[in-house]
């Protein structure tokens, strides 16, 4: 079977919410030729994708597996959960798991996230190579003819598909998913005065998800805003905000990478004045920084391992 070329980082089922009638188009805001924002009508399937996105960073097999075997089921389950969520129907545990997994995926599946996952794998190899070399030199089997540099190069060649594994583990991390599922959820239906916008960075969330003020905000349509909060009082605060639509739109537009979406062109000026103005580090960038910060402690442990615990017959004089 031929691999699909369109790899949607913003699923069609999600973008369809801004195409108000079946078969209609939504409005895509972008800066194709410079600082000026342009608006164009586009079908939900005709945007929010990169041709062979994962193939550019992963092997062909890995890219095909990522799109067909991983993201497709994640999105399909989330589409069903979203319909029930917006309608106010009761959610099963499976629905909550599916929706939480989808929300996490939106935090780390965008085009600029994929190279960061690869960089995380490379960083691990390069940072820890000196410590592993010490152990390799002490325990190298007599029949091993490869140099440490050759072995390191071979490990580097596995980075693309290992990055695939890393991305999957982050999206399906049980601790993170459980944190979201344990939050209080609501979908607020907002007034028709200002339609909600979304973007290629649609999720707004606090740096920590386990504190009293932790919350997650995600537009799920031009009138519907999904909010999850650790403390129920946060939901009441959001409900009482007089300009909640403007606040939600400001965050979605300011943190956008390249694309903003709406159901009409009414807010072109709003997007022009705010698009990509406040791009804070996203989840993958935060994880990369955290990994680098923790590396010295790991290296200290590795370098403290006494070489005399290695059997003498493994030592190469």
Q: Quick one: what percent of the chain has pLDDT higher than 70?
A: 83
Residue 314 has pLDDT above 80, yes or no: no
Phi/psi for 218 (5° steps) reads -145, 120
User: Which region among 119-128, 196-205, 253-262 has the lowest average model confidence (pLDDT)?
Assistant: 119-128
Most trustworthy range by pLDDT among 19-28, 183-192, 213-222 = 213-222
pTM here is: 0.81
Among 100, 116, 118, CA closest to 108 = 116
- Residue 228 pLDDT grade (very low, low, confident, very high; cuts 50, 70, 90): very high
The CA distance from 217 to 8, in Å, is 21
Q: What is the overall mean pLDDT for the chain?
A: 82
Across 143-147, 180-184, 221-225, 244-248, least confident range: 143-147
- Answer yes or no: is pLDDT of 62 > 70: no
Q: How far apart are CA 80 and CA 86, in angstroms?
A: 10
Q: Where are the alpha helices (DSSP H) in the chain?
A: 12-15, 60-64, 72-87, 93-108, 113-139, 148-157, 159-171, 174-181, 232-240, 244-254, 268-274, 283-303
Give the per-residue pLDDT at 227. 96
- Pairwise CA distance, residues 92 & 103, whole Å: 17
Q: Residue 56 has what pLDDT?
A: 52
In this prediction, residue 313 carries a pLDDT of 45
Per the model's pLDDT, the better-predicted residue between 184 and 279 turns out to be 184
Mean pLDDT on 172-187 = 93
Sorted by sequence, the CB contacts under 8 Å of residue 283 that are 6+ apart come out as 107, 108, 113, 170
DSSP 262-300: ESSSTTHHHHHHHTTSS----HHHHHHHHHHHHHHHHHH
**pLDDT value of residue 305:** 53
Reported as a single tens digit per residue, the pLDDT across 3-61 is 456 778 999 999 999 998 877 899 999 999 999 999 999 999 999 988 755 655 556 66
Taking only the tens place, the pLDDT of each residue in 134-147 is 777 777 777 777 87
pLDDT band with cut points at 50, 70 and 90 for residue 2: very low
Residues 261/18, Cβ–Cβ less than 8 Å: yes
Q: Which of 309, 95, 118 is CA-nearest to residue 181? A: 95
Task: Round to whole Å and give the CA distance between 22 and 195.
Answer: 18
Least confident of 24-38, 75-89, 135-149, 297-311: 297-311
Highest mean pLDDT among 159-163, 229-233, 275-279, 294-298: 229-233
pLDDT in the model for residue 12: 95
Residue from 2, 29, 25 nearest 12 by CA = 25
Q: Label residue 117 by pLDDT band (50, 70, 90).
A: confident
The answer to whether the beta carbons of residues 254 and 200 sit under 8 Å apart is: no
């Amino acid at each position: 079977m031929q691999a699909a070329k369109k790899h949607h980082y913003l699923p069609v089922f999600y973008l369809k919410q801004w195409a108000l009638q079946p078969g209609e188009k939504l409005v895509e805001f972008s800066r194709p030729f410079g600082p000026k924002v342009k608006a164009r009508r586009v079908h939900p399937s005709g945007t929010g994708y990169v041709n062979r996105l994962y193939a550019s960073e992963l092997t062909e097999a890995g890219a095909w597996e990522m799109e067909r075997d991983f993201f497709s089921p994640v999105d399909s389950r989330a589409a069903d959960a979203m319909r029930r969520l917006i309608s106010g129907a009761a959610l099963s545990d499976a629905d909550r798991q599916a929706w939480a997994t989808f929300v996490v995926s939106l935090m780390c599946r965008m085009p600029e996230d994929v190279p960061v996952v690869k960089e995380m794998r490379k960083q691990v190899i390069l940072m820890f190579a000196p410590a592993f070399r010490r152990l390799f030199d002490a325990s190298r089997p007599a029949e091993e003819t490869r140099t440490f540099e050759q072995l390191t190069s071979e490990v580097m060649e596995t980075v693309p598909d290992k990055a695939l594994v890393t991305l999957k583990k982050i999206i399906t991390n049980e601790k993170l998913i459980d944190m979201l599922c344990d939050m209080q959820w609501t979908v607020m239906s907002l007034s028709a005065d200002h339609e909600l916008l979304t973007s290629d960075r649609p999720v707004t969330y606090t740096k920590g998800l386990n504190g009293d003020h932790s919350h997650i905000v995600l537009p799920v349509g031009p009138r519907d805003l999904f909010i999850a909060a650790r403390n129920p009082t946060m939901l009441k605060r959001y409900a009482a905000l007089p300009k909640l639509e403007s606040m939600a739109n400001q965050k979605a537009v300011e943190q956008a990478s390249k694309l903003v979406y709406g159901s009409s062109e009414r807010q072109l000026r709003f997007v022009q004045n705010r698009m990509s103005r406040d791009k804070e580090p996203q989840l993958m960038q935060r994880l990369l920084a955290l990994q680098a910060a923790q590396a010295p402690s790991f290296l200290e442990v590795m370098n403290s391992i006494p070489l005399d615990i290695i059997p003498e017959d493994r030592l190469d004089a």
